[in-house]
Each structure stands twice: as C-alpha cells, then as structure tokens.
Amino acid sequence: MKVCCIGAGYVGGPTCAVMALKCPDIVITLVDKSVERIAQWNSDKLPIYEPGLDEVVKKCRNVNLFFSTDIETAIKEADLIFISVNTPTKVSGNGKGRAADLKYVESAARMIAEIAQSNKIVVEKSTVPVRAAESIMHILRANQKPGIHYDILSNPEFLAEGTAINDLLNADRVLIGGEETTEGHEAVAKLSWIYEHWIPKQHILTTNTWSSELSKLAANAFLAQRISSINSLSAVCEATGADVSEVARAVGLDSRIGSKFLQASVGFGGSCFQKDILNLIYICENLNLPEVATYWQQVIDMNDYQKRRFSQKIIESLFNTVSDKRIAILGFAFKKNTGDTRETAAITVCQTLLEEGAKLDIYDPKVEPEQIIDDLTHPSVTESPENVKKAVQIHSDPYSAVRATHALVICTEWDEFVDLDFQRIYQSMMKPAYIFDGRKILDHERLHQIGFHVQTIGKKY
C-alpha cells in the first residue's frame, strides 16, 4: 500500500513517522507546500521539537518514509491520502474569530480531484467542523473522472504535543468514521488494517462520519473544560486559604472524576483547545442552539480570566507598577517538551507587562528567539513593535535571564526550572525578590526560606 499525507506539521510529521516505523510494508510520502519545512524534515534539525521524534525519523527516512514537495506524484501514486493541513480560526468574513477556516482542507481536496487518476481513500485527519467530510466529498465527486472512485473517512488525531510519539504508539483509541455503505465499510477496514500493525483491534473504534468529527471537538472541549473548572476554583482557593492542589487531589481520587487534567495553571494554550471550542460554539450558534454555545464559551472566558488574573497579580504585588522594572520570564512555550508557542499563556503575560512599561528577560530552552520576537511584535499583541523589541531581551541561559530582575515568572513547566539553583538566583536579583509560579512546579517553602516573596496559582501566601 502507498500512503500520502498532505501537511507536514505537528500532526502529519509524528503520525507518519510512527506509521512508517510500525508498517515496514507501507511506503509513506509526507508532502507540504512549504519548501522550507520539507527541507527541514530532510535535514538533521527537524522543523518541530518532539521527544523521541528524531530517532524514529532517522530510522525510517528514505527507507519507507519520504518527505517531498512533489505533491502531484505523491497523490498520483497513493492508495490512501491523509489530509493533515492546518484548520485555523477564520480571521475575516463570515464566522470571523469563531469558525474554522477550511480553505487549506478545500485546496487539498481540489488538488486530489485534479491530480488523481485512480481510486483513492481520502482521510480527514485535520480537526474539522461536523459534516466537513460532506464538503470534501462534494468537491471530489463534482470533479470525478470516469472510473475513479473516492471514499472519504474521518480519522481525527488525539496526540498531544510533547508526548506525541508515546501517544501515537500507545493510543487510548483510534477513531475511524466512515459511510454506512459496503464501499464505506471496506475503506474503514483498509485504514483500520494500517493501525492494526501496532494498535490492539479493540482500541480501534469505528463510527459514522459525523460522530467521528464531533467526537474530536467534544474531546478537546471536555479536556479544556476540566482545566477551566480547576482554574476557576484556584481563584476561590486564593481568596479563602484552600489549596487548589489539595482540592484537585481530593476531587480527582473519585474514580468517576479521575486525576488527569486537573493541574491549575496560568491558563491553557496551544493551537487547538481555543480554536476547536470556538469552532464548536460557531456550529451551535448556526444550529440555533444558543444555550449550548454559551455553555462552551464559558470555558474560554474562564481561561482568559485566568491569564489576566495572573498577569494582574504580578503587577499588584510589585507595588502596582512595573514601569521600567526588569522581569524574567522563564518558559515561553505553551507547555513543556515542545517549542510550540501557539496561543501560549506567556504571550498574554508578556503583553500585559509590556503594556505597563516592564522590561522583559525571556528564556525558554526550546523556543527560537525569532519566534518569541515574532509573537510579541504581532499586530494583535502590540501597535509598536519597535518599542517591544527594545524592551525584550532573549537569553540562552536562565541565570543570565534572571540577573538584576525584580521578579521571576514561570510560564512553562519545564523540568529544568525545578532544579535551578535558587540561592544563586536570589543573590543575583534585585530585592525584594519575587517569584510568580504560574505552573506550581517549585518548592515554595524553600523559596520562602531563601528570602523570596512567592505567589502562585490557587494558594494564598
């Protein structure tokens, strides 16, 4: 079998790499319109940082895994094509700020329709609104050449960044949605056969296409909802003296609730939670279900509140002014073990502090300096990029970032921050020295003993 995957990003890359590793009898070609991205996939420095990914790519690249910009040949030769392109929130037009922009999915479908000369199974791997497969089907079948048959499947991806390889190798479940026809069932069986190379059959779930599409949005909405729920309680804890970690533990021990995804934080980030919930909200509004839309909107509103609340706490603690104060930001990625900064809470924290006139010293072990500057000078973040560039310094070492600062803010839970020499850090900082732990990873008692003023999420000090 020959497989092609359109879109060599955070999903396409790791997914195809693991598939190639586990299916030596399948040839997989990952294509992208970005020449730069494909060149990086073919180089020693891959375009994304993901633990374990380098090893898998090295094993399979140019054996049964190929990275190419020759989209035409890859489509022509493939029996099965994954569409794994980005589906960002629309920034203009109908549904602006809410609906998923399907222009990349549509262009992939149009390319397939134009190029295909034999039967294809087209698999929607991107996260899409319910019934998006219908649009793909419509485009393909309206342009169908005689004798060519298309099957469309939905096969959403559930991997999380930072743990993608393990998530793919040991998936809780693989979800495949297809048409309730004989051809549809055959197509589902072919895709299932690929996953059966390493996923136990009982973990491969088949549903109708629309259930599969909606389940992906639902899963992300549920996960984000748990974070917003615990974050909402973190505010109650700070006001009352309860400790949110103790509350999360007590609540999570109920086996009906479970302990995962109850870590209170500065707020969730990442390219998908907000985008997918907005997409769900837009669908509900269009289906004339305003109560359902309002319900899910609260998950996002609570996240915005949490990010704002944490930023305000920093300013208030520093005598209500951070003007010309140096503040160290440790961690810029939206979570540990990734270099991805999309929707990271660090952007909101930095933006607020910059607006108040602070000078920022930023360190992240995996985010490229240019990426941090791009994010903080984006038109949605500032009207004066030149001033931001003057106020921000990027460091390649945490000790240099904290030197002579008034405060240290933890925005990402990188393991290396736990083991920093805080005695040394204290000595190099301005006094009084403040730590704002937005991830609850540090030993606060010890920091107090050293002399720091400590503030965190969900606990009153």
10 is an interface residue for ligand NAD by CB under 6 A: yes
Q: How far, in Å, CA of 106 to CA of 6, rounded?
A: 12
Among this protein's residues, is 272 annotated catalytic?
Answer: yes
CB neighbour burial string for 20-45, b if at least 16 within 10 angstroms, e if fewer: bbbbeebbbbbbbbeeebbebbeeee
Q: If we measure between CA atoms, which residue out of 267, 269, 222, 265 comes closest to residue 245?
A: 265
327 is an interface residue for ligand UGA by CB under 6 A: no
Q: Pick from ligand NAD, ligand UGA, none: which does 210 bind, CB < 5 to 8 A by kind? A: none
Selected from 262, 392, 402, 457, the binder of ligand UGA by CB under 6 A is: 262
220 is an interface residue for ligand UGA by CB under 6 A: yes
5 by Cβ neighbours in 10 Å (0-12 / 13-18 / 19+) ranks as buried
Which amino acid type is present at position 143? N
Q: Pick from ligand UGA, ligand NAD, none: which does 269 bind, CB < 5 to 8 A by kind? A: ligand UGA
- Cβ atoms of 148 and 207 closer than 8 Å: no
Task: Give phi and psi for 153, each to the nearest 5.
Answer: -120, 155
Please tell me which residue in 4, 60, 272, 350 is annotated as part of the active site.
Answer: 272
274 assigned binding-site residue? yes
- Which 20-39 positions form the footprint of ligand NAD (CB under 6 A)? 32-34, 37
Selected from 6, 140, 237, 358, the binder of ligand NAD by CB under 6 A is: 6
Tell me how many residues contact ligand UGA (CB under 6 A). Answer: 20
54 assigned binding-site residue? no
Q: Pick from ligand UGA, ligand NAD, none: which does 263 bind, CB < 5 to 8 A by kind? A: ligand UGA
If the CB atoms of residues 157 and 361 are measured against ligand NAD, the closer one turns out to be 157
Q: Which two tokens stand for residue 132?
A: 């998006």
189 assigned binding-site residue? no
CB of 433 to ligand NAD, least distance (A): 36
Q: Pick from ligand NAD, ligand UGA, none: which does 87 bind, CB < 5 to 8 A by kind? A: ligand NAD
Selected from 326, 335, 366, 459, the binder of ligand UGA by CB under 6 A is: 335
Q: DSSP string covering 58-79, please?
A: HHHBTTTEEEES-HHHHHHH-S
Sign of CA dihedral 124, 129, 133, 137: negative
Using alpha carbons only, how large is the chain's radius of gyration in Å?
24
Q: Pick from ligand UGA, ligand NAD, none: which does 207 bind, CB < 5 to 8 A by kind? A: none
Selected from 9, 398, 438, 458, the binder of ligand NAD by CB under 6 A is: 9
Describe the strand order of the beta sheet including 407-410 as a list of residue ranges.
392-395, 359-363, 326-330, 407-410, 434-437, 453-456
Binding mask 123-142 for ligand UGA (x = CB under 6 A): ----x---------------
Q: Which stretch binds ligand UGA (CB under 6 A): 109-117, 158-166, 186-194, 349-357?
A: 158-166
Sign of CA dihedral 129, 68, 165, 123: positive
Pairing of strands 150-154, 65-68: unpaired
CB of 41 to ligand NAD, least distance (A): 10
Pairing of strands 326-330, 174-178: unpaired
Q: Which residues contact 226 (CB under 8 A, 6 or more apart)?
A: 261, 262
If the CB atoms of residues 12 and 95 are measured against ligand NAD, the closer one turns out to be 12
- Which 239-298 positions form the footprint of ligand NAD (CB under 6 A)? 271-272
Q: How far, in Å, CA of 432 to CA of 186, rounded?
A: 68
Which amino acid type is present at position 75? I
If the CB atoms of residues 11 and 237 are measured against ligand NAD, the closer one turns out to be 11
Q: How far, in Å, CA of 436 to CA of 387, rounded?
A: 25
Binding mask 272-291 for ligand UGA (x = CB under 6 A): xx------------------
268 is an interface residue for ligand UGA by CB under 6 A: yes
212 is an interface residue for ligand UGA by CB under 6 A: no
Dihedral (Cα; 48, 54, 56, 60), 10-degree rounding: 90
Q: Pick from ligand UGA, ligand NAD, none: which does 155 bind, CB < 5 to 8 A by kind? A: none
Residues annotated as catalytic are 272
Annotated binding residues for NAD(+):
7-12, 32, 37, 85-89, 126-127, 161, 272-275, 342
Applying CB under 6 A, which residues contact ligand NAD?
6-12, 32-34, 37, 71, 84-87, 104, 107-108, 126-127, 157, 159, 161, 271-272
Applying CB under 6 A, which residues contact ligand UGA?
127, 157-161, 220, 223, 227, 261-263, 265, 268-270, 272-273, 334-335
